[in-house]
Structure 1
Amino acid sequence: MSPTDPSPGGLARRLGTGDAVVVGLGAMIGAGVFAAFAPAAAAAGGWLLAALGVAAVVAYCNAMSSARLAARYPESGGTYVYGRQRLGDLWGHLAGWGFVVGKTASCAAMALTVGSYLAPGYARPVAVAAVVALTALNLFGVHRSALATRIIVGVVLVVLAAVVVAGLLGGTGPVVGAAGGVPVDGWGVLQGAGLLFFAFAGYARIATLGEEVRDPRRTIPRAIPIALGIALTVYALVAIATLRALGPAGLADAPAPLAAAVSQAGAGWLVPVVRIGAATAALGALLALILGVSRTVFAMSRGRHLPAGLDAVHPRRQVPHRAEIAVGVAVVALVCVADLREAIGFSSFGVLIYYAVANAAALTLRRDEGALPRSVPVVGIAGCLLLAATLPGTAVLTGLVVFAVGGVVWWAGRGVRSRR
């Protein structure tokens, strides 16, 4: 069989390790650097770097569990598939439900970020145009989407390098709470870590593309830790630079923190460049998010946990075109009511529960199936549930309601699935 022959589900395997890494980076770097730092700084204050470290530990456990499961089950759908295979139908459904709903909200938030940076007075129309354009790009094939993401990631990394240099050279403030005499706030650190987890969730996009990756049993376990390591390095450098330039309070209050950081550091000429970079990063995140959510919708439709018909594959381009269109329509609708900071909290809750299920599934792997040391999924489960519980109350409450609705949907569809 050729590496590009369709998978058993009809999707073409066109992505190599580099493509998979770039898809993950496109989601993580765009979402994290330009969206999550301000609310995380508001929670963690001068201990933002500690919150970043906690989020990174939990993300590492999740990444390792996801990589082993993705190698075992190289299918579209990610934890929706793993939960069903290892824990039972309900757990898989809830994982997929939380991912689709939470990440659809994230798509709307990223689209609004694009609009806010490019045309503040016309943010929503620009956001709608961005969703339509990127949905159309995805319809032309995953390989073109990966190529576009590669270009976007390259541009964003250059902009972030300029921000880091400006912040480190021009900033004067302390970068950790201890340096400023600020006592540690454990609850704030955990809440900040939960919000920053929004930034690390992009590697899920690699696993959800399991049916479109060449040699997935080798490619996915290799791509996920590489993408996570690069993203963590970038986040740490940007966090240090922005804290030096703005301080924790300034970072928390800034609507466009990276632009404010370079301005405060005496590099005001970089502000337009940073704004363009922010919009570009958000476009990259939006592109990867639409790609990942549509594949989970495709998988859930194929399993009859979402309406039949969304699992159709385009006969020529070999992409799940109906799922992609459905996700695009849903995101456009949410753009009309979405709020960026609230979406981050809600998305973080959904994704943390999603990864708690992934770690629980990884805990059931036997040694001959590539089982990890038990401490990895155990720490992952505990970390996910702890961070989810410390998120802002509205995010937790909304998330619980969404999962309750998902449980009702699963119960209502039992008859349809039993007749298959």
Structure 2
Amino acid sequence: MADELARRLETRDAVVVGLSAMIGAGVFAVFAPAAAAAGSWLLAALGLAAVVAYCNATSSARLAARHPESGGTYVYGRRRLGPFWGYLAGWGFTVGKTASCAAMALTFGAYAAPDLARPLAVAAVVVLTVLNLSGVRRSARAARLMVGFVLLVLTAVVAAAFLPDTGTAIGLPVDDTADPAGIPNAQVVDKDQVVQVGSLDDLPPGLHLILDPEVTGWGVLQAAGLLFFAFAGYARVATMGEEVRDPGRTIPRAIGIALGLTLVVYTLVAAAALHTLGPGLLAASPEPLVEVVKAGGERWLEPVVRAGAAVASLGALLALLLGVSRTVLAMARERDLPGALAAVDPVRQAPRRAELAVGAAVVVLVLVADLREAIGFSSFGVLVYYAIANAAALTLGRDEGAPPKAVPVLGLALCLLLAATLPLPSVVAGLIVFAVGAALWAVRRRLA
């Protein structure tokens, strides 16, 4: 039919789309705030985030196989729980991920040329939107190239961390000082060295103290919530269910492969960062993977890592634009967004109006606001999105491919728990966004 999308993605294409969304710019930055919360228990927090991701991925895969349409949890919520819950999932995803698109574009600009960050961010959005308009297969091929380069960069980072030490660990200035007496693993750093101290009397002039973060159960949960956000890209496979060949087999397989590969990559990178920097220095670093290669004595890799971060940002942006436009398409079909956005190009069989609308919205956000510090609600929104997905999976019958009940139950509980443990500003911003969405829903229903 003319208003349906073409099924052109095979398993490897779907895996690449998921990988490009998960192994994005987050891997170059997410470990610093997570280490600040979890300290030396960073890997435990990563493991908990992976459990949540597994439950959500399993629920999403089973739902996507049953409902292979564009829109992801927006569709599942409508079909299984009712129109309001589907709308709430779609609203949170669309608003949060549009902001995330702008943040990824700005991240690319900042790494590529800080003085031209905003113009480059706009250019990136325009170029990738045009690429998406040319067809999903070309987008998947571009994502494959970007993912391949980023994986090579991350391999180099891990190798630099675990090769025999050939250089001096490189730290960064920190303004706070404190008495490290009696505190194990205290470090003082300047821009050229890291030295261990046993008391304040041992503190060399001009150096600053970095302490390992205090580990608490709440901190580990908070770190897991932050790390989960980096795993959440497998939703892109589900939101593109209408463009996947043999979705009942391809979607679950692609989500499982992409999630497994991402967990391996994240574990190796996290272990490398902890091994080289320790939790204190890792938590204090604005560019942790750059610090890892410096500490390994491989300074020549610094521009390579920065290039990897820029390319990873583009890969994440590409996958986000694809996912958001497909959710917009699904919401427009149900008139939760303007119906004009439901049009599908008869030649390319792609949602061109939805893609153009999303691209335009992201460009506006890039031009009018710096969203790098203003999208904390995205983590909250993603967790609520998957809570709804798990609730929808609980309604699947055995003859519909339902997962074991424990999987969606655990996924739902952990999503709500991790959402509650996020930093308070993120929780407040997320609640406001969902409240606005619910109010708009109520107004539209009253006027209908």
Cα distance in 1 for partners of 2:246, 2:432 equals: 39
Cα distance in 1 for partners of 2:426, 2:164 equals: 36
Is the CA contact 1:70–1:217 (under 8 Å) kept in the aligned structure 2?
yes
Question: Shift of the alpha carbon at 1:415?
Answer: 5.6
Is the CA contact 2:21–2:233 (under 8 Å) kept in the aligned structure 1?
yes
Is the CA contact 1:71–1:220 (under 8 Å) kept in the aligned structure 2?
yes
In the alignment, is residue 234 of structure 1 matched against residue 228 of structure 2?
Answer: no
Question: Shift of the alpha carbon at 1:347?
Answer: 1.1
What amino acid does structure 2 have at the position aligned with 1:108? A
- The residue number in structure 2 matching 1:253 is 284
- The residue number in structure 2 matching 1:340 is 372
The counterpart of 1:265, out of the listed 285, 293, 296, is 296
Is the CA contact 1:32–1:200 (under 8 Å) kept in the aligned structure 2?
no
Matches within 5 A, 1:346-361: 346-361=377-392
What amino acid does structure 2 have at the position aligned with 1:84? R
- The residue number in structure 2 matching 1:176 is none
What amino acid does structure 1 have at the position aligned with 2:100? S
Which shifted more, 323-332 or 197-206?
A: 323-332
Is the CA contact 1:32–1:235 (under 8 Å) kept in the aligned structure 2?
no
- The residue number in structure 1 matching 2:394 is 363
Question: Shift of the alpha carbon at 1:39?
Answer: 1.7
Q: From the superposition, tell whether residues 9 and 74 of structure 1 become closer, same or farther in structure 2 (CA, over 3 Å).
A: farther
Is the CA contact 1:105–1:338 (under 8 Å) kept in the aligned structure 2?
no
- The residue number in structure 1 matching 2:52 is 58
In the alignment, is residue 209 of structure 1 matched against residue 240 of structure 2?
Answer: yes
Matches within 5 A, 1:212-227: 212-227=243-258
Matches within 5 A, 1:103-122: 103-122=97-116
Q: TM-score, normalised by structure 2?
A: 0.87
Higher helix share: 1
Root mean square deviation of aligned Cα: 1.7
Q: Secondary structure at the match of 1:14?
A: coil
The counterpart of 2:405, out of the listed 360, 365, 374, is 374
Q: Secondary structure at the match of 2:29?
A: helix
Is the CA contact 1:170–1:245 (under 8 Å) kept in the aligned structure 2?
no
Is the CA contact 1:131–1:331 (under 8 Å) kept in the aligned structure 2?
yes
Q: Which runs of 4+ in 1 moved over 4 A?
A: 170-173, 179-183
What amino acid does structure 1 have at the position aligned with 2:21? A
Q: Deviations along 1:296-331, whole A, 9 cap, x unmatched?
A: 001001111111211111121111111111111111
In the alignment, is residue 300 of structure 1 matched against residue 294 of structure 2?
Answer: no
Question: Shift of the alpha carbon at 1:252?
Answer: 2.1
The counterpart of 1:89, out of the listed 50, 64, 83, is 83
Query: Looking at CA atoms only, which structure, 1 or 2, has the larger radius of gyration?
Result: 2
What amino acid does structure 1 have at the position aligned with 2:266? Y
Cα distance in 2 for partners of 1:153, 1:67 equals: 22
- The residue number in structure 1 matching 2:122 is 128
Question: Shift of the alpha carbon at 1:414?
Answer: 2.2
The counterpart of 1:200, out of the listed 206, 215, 231, is 231
Question: Shift of the alpha carbon at 1:340?
Answer: 2.5
What amino acid does structure 1 have at the position aligned with 2:320? L
In the alignment, is residue 286 of structure 1 matched against residue 317 of structure 2?
Answer: yes
In the alignment, is residue 12 of structure 1 matched against residue 6 of structure 2?
Answer: yes
Q: From the superposition, tell whether residues 29 and 170 of structure 1 become closer, same or farther in structure 2 (CA, over 3 Å).
A: farther
The counterpart of 1:77, out of the listed 68, 71, 76, is 71
Question: Shift of the alpha carbon at 1:223?
Answer: 0.6
Question: Shift of the alpha carbon at 1:125?
Answer: 1.2
Unaligned runs of 5+ in 1: 1-5, 174-178
Cα distance in 2 for partners of 1:112, 1:326 equals: 19
The counterpart of 1:390, out of the listed 410, 421, 429, is 421
Question: Shift of the alpha carbon at 1:37?
Answer: 1.7
The counterpart of 1:154, out of the listed 148, 156, 173, is 148
Q: From the superposition, tell whether residues 166 and 316 of structure 1 become closer, same or farther in structure 2 (CA, over 3 Å).
A: same
Q: Deviations along 1:123-180, whole A, 9 cap, x unmatched?
A: 111111111111111011101000000011111111100000101225799xxxxx96
What amino acid does structure 1 have at the position aligned with 2:155? A
What amino acid does structure 1 have at the position aligned with 2:26? G
Cα distance in 2 for partners of 1:382, 1:283 equals: 33
Is the CA contact 1:28–1:199 (under 8 Å) kept in the aligned structure 2?
yes
Cα distance in 1 for partners of 2:287, 2:361 equals: 27
Is the CA contact 2:74–2:89 (under 8 Å) kept in the aligned structure 1?
yes
Unaligned runs of 5+ in 2: 170-183, 186-211
Q: Deviations along 1:260-302, whole A, 9 cap, x unmatched?
A: 2101221000001111111011100100000000000010011
What amino acid does structure 2 have at the position aligned with 1:166? A
Cα distance in 2 for partners of 1:182, 1:401 equals: 31
Cα distance in 2 for partners of 1:35, 1:412 equals: 40
Q: Secondary structure at the match of 1:266?
A: coil
Q: Deviations along 1:184-216, whole A, 9 cap, x unmatched?
A: 311111111111111011000000001100111
Q: From the superposition, tell whether residues 381 and 72 of structure 1 become closer, same or farther in structure 2 (CA, over 3 Å).
A: same
Q: Secondary structure at the match of 2:71?
A: coil
What amino acid does structure 2 have at the position aligned with 1:140? S
Is the CA contact 2:381–2:430 (under 8 Å) kept in the aligned structure 1?
yes
What amino acid does structure 2 have at the position aligned with 1:339? L
Cα distance in 2 for partners of 1:98, 1:68 equals: 22
Between the two proteins, the alignment pairs up a number of residues equal to 405
Question: Shift of the alpha carbon at 1:341?
Answer: 4.6
Cα distance in 1 for partners of 2:295, 2:71 equals: 44
Question: Shift of the alpha carbon at 1:108?
Answer: 1.2
